[in-house]
Structure 1
Amino acid sequence: MTIETLSTNRSFGGTQGVYAHDSAETGVRMTFSVFVPDHAPGAKLPVIWYLSGLTCTHANVTEKGEFRRACAELGLIFVAPDTSPRGEDVPDDPAGAYDFGLGAGFYVDATQPPFAEHYHMRSYIEHELPELVAGNFPVDMARQGIMGHSMGGHGALTISLRNPGRFRSTSAFAPIVAPSQVPWGHKALDGYLGTDQAAWQEYDACALIDGGARLPDLLVDQGDADNFLTEQLKTHLLEEACTRAGQKATIRMQPGYDHSYYFISTFMAEHLAWHADRLK
């Protein structure tokens, strides 16, 4: 599969690139960013997949995530895809709301019209993009970690739980841990998958853990000043699910931090070091 290079910039002894390709899964042109640290010729590096939240593109974390210094020091490739298909023929929320449609693909494979044609973000992230990245960048696919923020935290958790053995490390910032129990999730899962809530369970981290899915380890940071915590994120549900299941997890409430990239960038280097320890 071929990619188009949209831009490259030198940063922290590595290359930050932005790329585009025609996706078979979404049926539209998709954009993603990749940071590759300098490395010995022929070397293969561990890779971190970062999934972004509602309203975001690849650019939010690329421009504000402050990951490059840590990735350069730790020898990690960092990949940031978009959050939904985009284009003139891609349907959006009928009311133009921020929490459904463009920028809000929820990392599902939609089954309901008119979204089923293009909204295949699950398959794009689980299959198509890894194959593309593996064919064009020096990644060691035996050493993968995944992380994300908010809706992307939901994506990272559920993708890792559904693919045992693929990811050695999984972490999240302020994830939506139980979409089937919160308004954001109800709107997205109903709109993309329909009203049968049995179909929602494979997109709900707490439900997957309750159903027997496990991770080698888990790191979650959540700001206690996050205005979405009580209604949409409900971090305590993940804590309870992990306790019930005996799932190893470090879930930390960070005093005074909100939902923004000021929060994410504060703890980004710590998360990347945690991943690097598990990707050696």
Structure 2
Amino acid sequence: MENTALEKMSSNKTFEGELIKYKFKSTALGGLEAQFNLYLPPKSQNDKVPVLVYLAGLTCTEDNGAQKGSFLSVASTQGIALLFPDTSPRGAGIEGEDDDWDFGTGAGFYLNATKPKYAKHYNMLTHITVELPQVIKDAGIPIDFTRQSIFGHSMGGHGALTLYLSSSTKQYRSASAFAPISNPTKCPWGKKAFTGYLQGGMEEAQNQYDATHLIARFKEPVHILVDYGTGDQFYKQGQLLPENFLKAARDANYDEFQVRVRSQEGYDHSYYFISTFASDHIHFHANFLKS
């Protein structure tokens, strides 16, 4: 996969490390410009470091997690790099992609679209799992991509769980999620996205992009942590369905040491919730990334 070189857009020293924003011309996204943030902890000045990928939710960009997640301090002390991709292609110019907040721009759902209308540009799965690691390697940035884990929020929680559970190469050592869309073929957000992006609609989605279905037939050991808030409006509306994911995991004989789903009393869907449990998630992944 050929890409133009990374261009550094900004850099900020923080927690003795560096948060850098890059852009490049993305082949996976049909030649569009893509941006991402990368946090390099101070340990990266002397050694290659493991990386934790953060996938943000609907309407977000590469900036939300970096600016509001409260991840950087803990990542600095643990010696872990953080990669913050965008949530969709930008500027594809496809008719209708900007009509709704929960589909199109800002709502790529971390899949590879198969409907012809979207297939050229909406390939966030390839962008995240293949393209970004390659362009970062090619730039000589000191990250050890043999040690990767992934986490995310809401739509990004869906992405983290599905990319982890569908990875035939065992790309990620662990996965975690804040308020993930856990059973998207059973909720309005998922149905809208999958019927819009996928030629095979819900059947194609069930086989590849629904964490509840994936965990039910997964055969390998897993390391998964999920947090959701009981005060979350989208949980109450039936968009998240974490109980479905938990039941499927238990039915597949994954115990609480392999799949832990925690309900947090009174917390909502916001970054106040995420930042409260950010340290838990970084430390969870450190157990697997630093070994």
TM-score exceeds 0.5: yes
- What are structure 2's unaligned runs of at least 5 residues? none
Residue aligned with 2:203, SS: helix
Structure 1 residue aligned with 2:194: 189
- Compute the displacement of 1:215 (Å): 4.9
State the percentage of identical aligned residues.
43
8 Å Cα contact 2:149-2:172 kept in structure 1 = yes
Residue aligned with 2:89, SS: coil
Q: Flag the 1:123–1:242 CA change in 2: closer, same or farther, 3 A.
A: same
8 Å Cα contact 2:153-2:179 kept in structure 1 = yes
Stretches of 4+ aligned residues off by more than 6 angstroms: none
Structure 1 residue aligned with 2:161: 157
1:209 matched to 2:212? The reply is no
CA distance in 2, matches of 1:279, 1:63: 23
Structure 2 residue aligned with 1:113: 116
Instruction: Show CA shifts across 1:61-103 (max 9, x none).
Output: 1111111110110001000000000015245436x21100000
Structure 1 residue aligned with 2:261: 251
Residue aligned with 1:168, SS: coil
- Spell out the pairing of 1:1-280 with structure 2 (5 A cutoff): 1=3, 2-27=5-30, 28-39=32-43, 41-87=45-91, 89-93=93-97, 96-136=99-139, 137-164=141-168, 165-194=170-199, 196-201=201-206, 202-212=208-218, 214-230=220-236, 231-247=238-254, 248-280=258-290
Query: Which stretch has the larger CA shift, 196-205 or 78-87?
Result: 196-205
8 Å Cα contact 2:148-2:171 kept in structure 1 = yes
CA distance in 2, matches of 1:92, 1:5: 32
Q: How many residues align?
A: 279
Give the aligned CA root-mean-square deviation in angstroms: 1.5
CA distance in 1, matches of 2:202, 2:158: 17
8 Å Cα contact 1:91-1:101 kept in structure 2 = no
TM-score (norm 2): 0.92
- Compute the displacement of 1:259 (Å): 0.3
- Compute the displacement of 1:40 (Å): 6.0
- What are structure 1's unaligned runs of at least 5 residues? none
8 Å Cα contact 1:4-1:19 kept in structure 2 = yes
- Compute the displacement of 1:117 (Å): 1.7
8 Å Cα contact 2:44-2:79 kept in structure 1 = no
Residue aligned with 1:157, SS: helix
8 Å Cα contact 2:65-2:84 kept in structure 1 = yes
Residue aligned with 2:212, SS: helix
TM-score (norm 1): 0.95
CA distance in 1, matches of 2:222, 2:93: 40
